[in-house]
């Protein structure tokens, strides 16, 4: 059983007991406060990372009922948390790893450790499927392969498992040794080597050598001979190996050739002197390689060939991402088609529970397949999980979950099949709910997802939340310690969706948010955002709401200050931000206003100025550096004057995204990050380091073949100079597709190829030239994204990325995803 007493914990980690309460065993390990599900039996490790600090969540977790903590600094904790057991260690992360290593040491089942640059997660999932008839496999959930993910994965090992598969990912030297000690693989698979995480290593050889450390104790290592660097390293190590190859005769498993037939790849191979063939249900190179890794392992284990083909036929692509989508009646859907096992369900429920509460939490769940557990036990566990994650409404679909319906409390409904649910589906019964849709593939839950998304038209803006966090961390890495971060989420978070972005920023503990208007701030508060929010342009008639929702106004003129003071109660305290004009000449006070400004403020001591700031007019262009430097100097002088006149210190800030990159010595107390967060870099020098966040996609509505000389669209502007194939796509200027893209100025991507706009862009659609591109009705069209950048498109029509991003109309549905 996964259980550990506090005394064992102390012995394993060598920590110091700060306080010990009557011992209750540790059953769950927690490192991310958002993922708390069962407080009783949970041990929280307060881990200090580069961007977050677990110690900041102790109080919240204690309030939620957690009573066991591993911490790095004990300052006065005993007094604060009288009922808790607390262990102090040098490094909470190392303590977590030690606990996992201790746990692992108690099991003697075969364990496969997988590393390599690509394919780890897919091979792991496939192998688990391919082995599952004989083995009860425990595996890393999703891609839990990091210094934290691996210990949490290994902690799942339990007495009923007969086989373990864990993946290990590293980004720098020294990491693999630690993962090896936790996973202790008895078999290994080295998938391949590519350029991911190159920056952490001197060269590829060093990276291979580091990865090889996972296999120090394995009995047998599987790899593909064709990867020369891997082969050399294995040879040098002397580790016994089982190899496969596409063309090198020395391999244990040798391919003789392959042909593509429909959606399958037929491979011919020799193994132990005999020839065989196998149909792999994929045609892309990466999937075929992943399938061949799996084949090698199955053959070596002696799997029967007929069974092998049978199981291979049922392999499915692994859905790596979990999507959050806007849906009917103010609902949000979390759409998770990842393997529907208990670990996958638990992760998806974590995500559901981590969303700020708005309306009900609903779960639509199918039968769980292939768990290897008796149904009784399985559905009791599912019921416990849903209860712990505060699921308020459960819709169970499938005969098995239906049969166990009585195990679930609260609002429940059960259907024998997806079709039965859809027949009775009534959109009016769902309102402002956060709905998790989680079904095994055979249940075809994509139809349920469709029913929840009123299909206005097929145009969506996909927002990559991982990229957003990457960009946030990139800018954070540029800040001096102690410099605060305000993030601009004005204009619907630059078009990306305010509440979802703000929610993520709140979790990642930025210091401030800023919006343009009071209503934007109110909406964030109504969605559970509690961070301080500055409102840049509060109108006099919105001041009452400002107070009601604890929003902090930017005050930029004497008129606005007088209006504000007129609404301020004498016995309530208020926070404001003073904007200074240092050359932008948009909003802000100048020195002439100071006498009157400070006179007014002196008479209203309940109003506190928390910050003063200014904005650079040309931070992104070297051409304006002299002007920027003048602004920076002016601001420092004026801000000093503000502090002197007020008689107290306040936050001073002037840098926007471009400023953070180009004038790092002027970070002062805070910076204001905007466009860079969304993956666009206006100075050009940082674009490489950022990841594009948004992809705008639409679909083809119709294909037409037109003759030379015919014309396309309004005013007959699109003239066919030769015979052409034209696709009408479902996006127009009302969606934010700028009319300036008309007549070839704009291009879109279809099957990775560029198709120029032909004729004028219409309101809801436009036409593109797809001559020579194998395009069909319903095909996906990328309007902008990683391969067709906003920067390029903006240049094509003489505008800036900001405008293209914020113009995407709110009628375009946003889909948020993370891997």
CB of 522 to ligand PLP, least distance (A): 19
Q: Which is nearer to ligand PLP, 362 or 471 (CB)?
A: 471
- The residues that are catalytic are 490, 714
645, 646, 651, 653 alpha-carbon torsion, rounded to 10°: -40
CB of 219 to ligand PLP, least distance (A): 55
Say if CB 72 and CB 79 are below 8 A apart.
no
Residue 781 dihedral angles phi and psi, to the nearest 5°: -125, 125
Say if CB 745 and CB 774 are below 8 A apart.
no
Say if CB 97 and CB 151 are below 8 A apart.
yes
DSSP string, 643-665: HHHHTS--EEE---HHHHHH-GG
Ordered alpha helix ranges (H), 301-443? 305-313, 342-354, 375-388, 399-403, 418-423
Q: What are the structure tokens assigned to 223, written together? A: 């790899």
Q: DSSP state, 132?
A: T
d(CA 349, CA 242): 39
d(CA 353, CA 347): 10
Q: Which is nearer to ligand PLP, 17 or 479 (CB)?
A: 479
CB of 534 to ligand PLP, least distance (A): 9
Task: List interacting residues with ligand PLP (CB under 6 A).
Answer: 488, 536, 615, 656-658, 672, 674-676
Question: In this structure, how many other beta carbons lie within 10 angstroms of the beta carbon of residue 249?
Answer: 8
Q: Which is nearer to ligand PLP, 93 or 488 (CB)?
A: 488
CA atoms within 13 A on the CB side of 489: 33
CB of 584 to ligand PLP, least distance (A): 9
The structure tokens 């996973």 sit at: 183
Question: Does the annotation list 586 as a binding residue?
Answer: yes
CB of 489 to ligand PLP, least distance (A): 10
H/E element, 494: helix 490-494
> Residue 440 region, left (φ>0) first, then alpha (ψ -120 to 50), else beta?
beta
Q: Which is nearer to ligand PLP, 103 or 672 (CB)?
A: 672
Give the residue among 238, 254, 223 at the shortest CA–CA distance from 116.
223
CB of 518 to ligand PLP, least distance (A): 16
Question: Does the annotation list 763 as a binding residue?
Answer: yes
Q: Which is nearer to ligand PLP, 434 or 680 (CB)?
A: 680
Q: Which is nearer to ligand PLP, 248 or 617 (CB)?
A: 617
CA atoms within 13 A on the CB side of 304: 5
Residue 412, helix vs strand vs coil: strand
Q: Which is nearer to ligand PLP, 396 or 538 (CB)?
A: 538
Give the residue among 233, 252, 340, 236 at the shortest CA–CA distance from 293.
252
CB of 659 to ligand PLP, least distance (A): 8
Q: What are the structure tokens assigned to 628, written together? A: 């920027």
**Which residues are part of a known binding site for substrate?**
586, 763
């Amino acid at each position: 059983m996964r259980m550990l007493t506090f005394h064992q914990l102390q012995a394993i980690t060598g920590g110091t007991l700060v306080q010990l309460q009557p011992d209750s065993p540790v059953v769950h390990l927690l490192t991310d406060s958002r993922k708390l599900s069962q407080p009783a039996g949970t041990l929280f490790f307060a881990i200090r990372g580069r961007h977050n600090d677990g110690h900041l969540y102790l109080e919240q977790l204690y309030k939620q009922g957690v009573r066991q903590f591993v911490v790095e600094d004990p300052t006065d904790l005993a007094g604060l948390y009288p009922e808790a057991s607390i262990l102090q260690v040098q490094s909470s992360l190392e303590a977590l790893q030690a606990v996992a290593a201790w746990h692992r040491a108690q099991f003697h089942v075969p364990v496969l450790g997988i590393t390599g640059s690509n394919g780890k997660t897919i091979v792991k999932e496939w192998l688990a499927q391919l082995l599952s008839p004989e083995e009860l496999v425990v595996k890393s959930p999703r891609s839990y392969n990091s210094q934290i993910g691996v210990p949490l994965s290994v902690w799942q090992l339990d007495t009923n498992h007969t086989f373990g598969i864990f993946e290990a990912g590293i980004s720098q030297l020294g990491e693999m040794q630690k993962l090896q000690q936790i996973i202790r693989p008895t078999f290994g698979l080295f998938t391949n080597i590519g350029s991911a995480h190159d920056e952490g290593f001197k060269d590829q050889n060093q990276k291979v050598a580091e990865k090889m450390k996972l296999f120090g104790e394995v009995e047998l290592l599987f790899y593909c001979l064709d990867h020369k660097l891997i082969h050399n390293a294995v040879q040098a190590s002397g580790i016994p190996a089982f190899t496969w190859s596409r063309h090198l005769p020395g391999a244990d498993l040798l391919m003789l050739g392959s042909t593509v037939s429909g959606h399958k790849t037929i491979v011919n191979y020799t193994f132990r002197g005999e020839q065989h063939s196998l149909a792999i249900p994929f045609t892309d190179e990466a999937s075929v390689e992943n399938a061949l890794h799996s084949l090698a392992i199955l053959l070596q284990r002696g799997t029967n060939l007929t069974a092998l083909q049978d199981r291979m036929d049922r392999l499915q692509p692994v859905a790596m991402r979990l999507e959050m989508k806007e849906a009917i009646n103010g609902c949000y859907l979390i759409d998770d088609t990842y393997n529907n096992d208990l670990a996958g369900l638990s992760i998806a429920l974590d995500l559901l529970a981590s969303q700020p509460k708005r309306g009900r939490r609903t779960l639509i769940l199918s039968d769980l397949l292939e768990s290897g557990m008796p149904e009784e036990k399985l559905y009791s566990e599912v019921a416990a999980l849903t209860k712990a994650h505060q699921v308020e409404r459960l819709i169970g679909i499938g005969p098995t979950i239906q049969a166990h319906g009585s195990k679930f409390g609260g609002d429940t409904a059960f259907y024998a099949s997806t079709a039965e649910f859809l027949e009775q589906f009534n959109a009016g019964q769902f309102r402002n709910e956060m709905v998790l849709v989680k079904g095994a593939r055979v249940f075809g839950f994509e139809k349920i997802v469709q029913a929840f998304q009123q299909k206005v038209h097929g145009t969506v803006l996909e927002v990559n939340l991982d990229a957003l966090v990457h960009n946030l961390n990139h800018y954070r890495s540029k800040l001096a310690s102690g410099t605060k971060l305000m993030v601009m989420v004005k204009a619907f978070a630059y078009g990306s969706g305010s509440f979802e972005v703000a929610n993520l920023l709140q979790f990642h503990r930025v210091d401030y948010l800023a919006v343009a208007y009071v209503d934007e701030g109110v909406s964030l508060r109504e969605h559970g955002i509690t961070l301080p929010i500055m409102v840049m342009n509060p109108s006099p008639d919105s001041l009452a709401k400002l107070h009601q929702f604890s929003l902090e106004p930017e005050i930029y003129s004497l008129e606005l200050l007088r209006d504000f003071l007129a609404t301020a109660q004498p016995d309530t305290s208020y926070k404001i931000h003073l904007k200074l004009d240092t050359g932008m000449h948009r909003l802000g006070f100048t020195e002439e206003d100071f006498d009157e400004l400070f006179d007014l403020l002196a008479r209203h001591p309940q109003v506190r100025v928390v910050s003063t700031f200014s904005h650079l007019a040309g931070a992104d262009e070297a051409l304006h550096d002299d002007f920027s430097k003048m602004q920076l100097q002016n601001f420092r002088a004026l801000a000093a004057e503000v502090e002197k006149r007020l008689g107290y210190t306040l936050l001073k800030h002037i840098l926007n995204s471009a400023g953070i990159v180009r004038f790092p010595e002027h970070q002062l107390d805070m910076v204001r990050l905007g466009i860079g967060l969304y993956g666009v870099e206006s100075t050009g020098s940082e674009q490489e380091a950022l990841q594009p966040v948004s992809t705008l996609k639409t679909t083809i509505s119709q294909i037409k073949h037109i003759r030379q000389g015919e014309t396309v669209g309004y005013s007959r502007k699109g003239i066919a100079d030769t015979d052409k194939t034209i696709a009408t796509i479902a996006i127009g200027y009302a969606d934010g597709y700028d009319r300036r893209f008309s007549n070839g100025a704009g291009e879109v991507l279809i099957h990775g190829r560029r198709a120029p706009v032909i004729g004028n862009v219409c309101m809801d659609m436009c036409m593109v030239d797809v001559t020579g591109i194998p395009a069909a009705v319903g095909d996906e069209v990328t309007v902008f994204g990683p391969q067709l950048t906003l920067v390029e498109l903006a240049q094509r029509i003489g505008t800036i990325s900001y405008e293209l991003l914020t113009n995407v109309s709110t009628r375009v549905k946003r889909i948020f995803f993370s891997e």
